[in-house]
Chains A and B, each alone.
Chain A
């Protein structure tokens, strides 16, 4: 339990800020796709080397980056819209991953990889999570200013010759890395949830980026802790428990948030005198 909580807090701190940028850059779907895209890599590593976490993580990272690259190439050179290319690619990735694991492993292996289990976290995975989380936060600090401008005014960034391309590539790599960190606890199917749901909920409460980032982290940390406590006390799977608690935060924000919520829309506060 203590290990699971530590792990959840670690990945929450780095996943949630990435999620905020994914949402603001209208790339939420890409986050979801990256989460699924790591599956064939994890599966291939599993077939070749068994349940070895470092190798499976490297496999996942390689597969995720390959799909990101492929999606970029496909959308650049074909007439299809980007989201359509992404959808096709990630469905293929999931199908091949599931097939590979089913052919070579047990039903339990498949379940562990797809849905994860925070109870399986050991020292090795925890240190991997700590390294990924720490380096993600450091990298985000380094690219922060450029990433903000790239997200909101890419034309300006080009005129001042900021390094938008490099920053974009770093950002995508960080996203895939965090999916790899998340999947052991939450499963490949749900690892995007920890990244995206708190980020989406935070949009309803503030129009300032720094508070949005802080709120998303706070929601991710508290949601994953509550979810884990729920999972342990009622003997439920950890990934879905965490995501459903986060989903509760989202619904609450959607209904009662300060900006763009149902409450703000239909029951506005009294306006100022001027």
Chain B
């Protein structure tokens, strides 16, 4: 039931950012996606969630449907000044069950409050989101994912600008999801965090550098290769002919 990627190329305006990537995420695995800026980490997540069309290849989700996928983009993509309360944000996690019309009942509300309690934010339920700190806001978004009951969770730098204590608590939540059988793919910048918490890693610099157990993937050679690869790709604008197929790259 793993998620298998076969020869995936994705990007914007004919310029691939992720180039001919193949591999698989095991069921209930916790994988960090690391690599330099512009290396395609966010694009890989967007390709998985279907926001970026694939130029080549395909993804086999092994029975996971799009309702089962939760995606949390980088923080700046959500308007945190909007006049909405914490509980209403968490309730949105029910969308796949309620859609745009079905009313949210007592059960939905209880589930949302329980999720808030799990991330230590129950006392904030009726507060407007504009009053939250960055760390509190991230906890609320995690609570929404809990309510979503996803089987695949994609997180894009969830710990950027988050203090150490909150990071550790949210990391426990990631591990809890893993124990419940959820597959997690998480874009990470902080390699120390990756080494201490993520069993699996994928090092991406437009092309796959390494994919496997974190200790093997984050070796000195691999990290150097990731940096080098990135530089050389900036200039190559010929058509790509990897795997025998001619592609406008």
Contact = CB atoms under 8 A, between A and B. Distances in A.
A208 interface: yes
B100 A162 contact: yes
B70 A209 contact: no
Contacts of A209: 82-84
Contacts of B70: 159
A207 B51 contact: no
Contacts of B96: 160
Contacts of A142: 101
The 7 closest A-B pairs by CB, nearest first: A152-B82, A207-B128, A160-B95, A146-B100, A209-B83, A159-B71, A153-B78
A159 to B, nearest CB: 5
24 contacts: A24-B82, A142-B101, A145-B101, A146-B100, A148-B84, A152-B78, A153-B79, A153-B92, A155-B71, A156-B78, A158-B51, A159-B49, A159-B70, A162-B100, A163-B100, A207-B83, A207-B128, A207-B130, A207-B131, A208-B83, A208-B84, A208-B85, A208-B128, A209-B82
A145 B92 CA distance: 9
A271 interface: no
Interface string A199-220: 0000000111100100000000
B79 A151 contact: yes
A2 interface: no
Interface residues of A, number: 23
Given A151-B79, A152-B84, A209-B83, A161 B66 contact: yes
A155 B73 contact: yes
Given A207-B128, A207-B130, A152 B77 contact: no
B69 interface: yes
A207 B89 CA distance: 14
Per DSSP, chain B at the interface is mixed
Contacts of A207: 83, 128, 130-131
Interface residue tally of chain B, by bracket?
A: 20 to 34
Interface string A101-117: 00000000000000000
Interface of A: 24, 142-143, 145-146, 148-149, 151-153, 155-156, 158-163, 206-209, 212
Interface string B97-131: 00011000000000000000000000000001011
Nearest to B131: A207
Interface in B75-95: 77-79, 82-85, 89, 92, 95
Given A159-B70, A161-B66, A151 B49 contact: no
Interface string B191-224: 0000000000000000000000000000000000
A24 B66 contact: no
Contact of B100 (A145, A151, A156, A212): A145
A140 to B, nearest CB: 13
Nearest to A206: B83
B51 A156 contact: no
A206 B82 CA distance: 11
Nearest to A210: B83
A28 B95 CA distance: 29
Contacts of B131: 207
Given A207-B128, A208-B128, A155 B77 contact: yes
Contacts of B130: 207
